[in-house]
Structure 1
Amino acid sequence: MSQVFVYAEYQVSIPFCEIDWLSINVEMKKFPGLQSKTWLSGLNTNTVGGFYEFDSLENAQNYIYNLLIPFAKQVNGNLTVRLFDGYTTQEASIGMNSPFYKGV
C-alpha cells in the first residue's frame, strides 16, 4: 500500500479548546510518512480524534504504536483506530474531488 488513511478517536470528554494542538502538531510532524491530519472533535461528545494520511502501512502503524496508544494511556481514554487503503479507492475518490488526490 502506498497510501494509508487512519481514523482515530479517543473516547474521552475533552473540549477541543482544551487541547494543546500547537505542541501536539509539532510532535506529530516528527513521525516519518505522515502526510496530513484533519483534526476531529465529536459533536455533543467532546471526543477527540483525527483523520490521517500516511505514505505506508509501516509508518501508520509506527505512529499508532508510538503516539496514539501512549496518549490514550496518558488521558486514561479508550482508543479506536481504523486503517484504510487509499490506493484501492483512488479512482472513486478522484471522482468525488477528494483533496487527498489533487494533482494525481
Structure 2
Amino acid sequence: MSKVFLYAEIQVSIPFSKIDWQTINGTMKKEKGLKSKTWLSGINTNSIGGFYEFDSLENAQAYATGYLAAAAQRLGGSLTVRLFDGDVVGEASRGIGSPFYEREPALA
C-alpha cells in the first residue's frame, strides 16, 4: 500500500479554539510518512480528530499507536482510529474529484 488514510477521533470536549494547533502541526510534520492532515472538530461534541494521509500502513500504524495514543492519554480522552486502503479506491476517488488523488486528464 502506498496510500493509507487514517481517521482518528479523541472523545473529549475541547472547543477547537482552545487547541494549540500551530504547535501540534509543527510536531506532526516530523512524523514519518505523514503526507497531510485535515483537522476535524465534532459538531455539538467538541471532540477532536482528523483525517490523515500516510505513505504506508506501517507508518500509519506507528503514528496511531505512538503519537495519537499518547495525545489521547494526555487529554484524558478515548481514542478511536480507523485505517483505510487508499490504493484500492484510487480510480473511484479520482472519478469523483477527490483532492487526495490527481485529477483525471481532460478528454481530448
| TM-score, normalisation: structure 2 | 0.93
Percent identity over the alignment? 63
Q: Which has the larger radius of gyration?
A: 2
> Cα RMSD over matched residues?
1.0
Query: Per-residue displacement from partner, 1:51-89 (whole Å, max 9, x unpaired)?
Result: 000000011011112210001110110000000000000
| Distance in structure 1 (CA, Å) of the matches to 2:18 and 2:35 | 25
Judged with a 3 Å threshold, the aligned counterparts in structure 2 of structure 1 residues 103 and 96 are, in CA distance, closer, same or farther, namely closer
- What is the number of residues matched between the two proteins? 104
Asked if residue 30 in structure 1 is aligned to residue 30 in structure 2, the reply is yes
Query: Per-residue displacement from partner, 1:1-60 (whole Å, max 9, x unpaired)?
Result: 111000000000000000000000000000111000000001111010000000000110
Q: Any idea what SS the aligned residue of 1:99 has? A: coil
The corresponding residue for 1:19 is: 19
Cα distance, 1:103 vs structure 2? 5.5
| Distance in structure 2 (CA, Å) of the matches to 1:81 and 1:64 | 7
| Distance in structure 2 (CA, Å) of the matches to 1:8 and 1:101 | 21
Q: Any idea what SS the aligned residue of 1:80 has? A: strand
| TM-score, normalisation: structure 1 | 0.97
Q: Any idea what SS the aligned residue of 1:30 has? A: coil
Following TM superposition, the consecutive aligned residue runs of length 4 or more in structure 1 with deviations greater than 3 angstroms are none
Which runs of no fewer than 5 residues in structure 2 stay unpaired? none
